[in-house]
Amino acid sequence: MERERTERQDRPERSERPAYGNKKARKKVCVFCADKTDYIDYKELSKLRRFLSERGKIVPRRVTGTCAKHQRAMTVAIKRARHLALMPYANEN
């Protein structure tokens, strides 16, 4: 009988799984908190670059795991860097 199988489908309950896809399903710790950074310098391009997508957009917090405070500081730093043409506003497309 097929009926039993439908009842049994043990799909994982909502609790432990992230709402978004499995992209970067690592343990998320804000990198700036880990470094104890409280001011994010716009000149630290190597650091900031990892928060840009390949198209030059700022990657959302839920992807990078950056905390709200640092995400804010980081976007400001990126925007400054952009203003100084150290970083792209957007790559093609």
Residues in touch with Zn ion (CB under 5 A) = 30, 32-33, 67, 70
Is 70 in contact with 40 (CB distance < 8 Å)? yes
Q: Considering the complex, what minimum distance in angstroms separates the CB of residue 69 from Zn ion?
A: 6
Q: Considering the complex, what minimum distance in angstroms separates the CB of residue 49 from Zn ion?
A: 18
- Phi and psi at residue 31, to the nearest 5°: -65, -30
30 versus 52: smaller Cβ distance to Zn ion: 30
Q: Considering the complex, what minimum distance in angstroms separates the CB of residue 60 from Zn ion?
A: 15
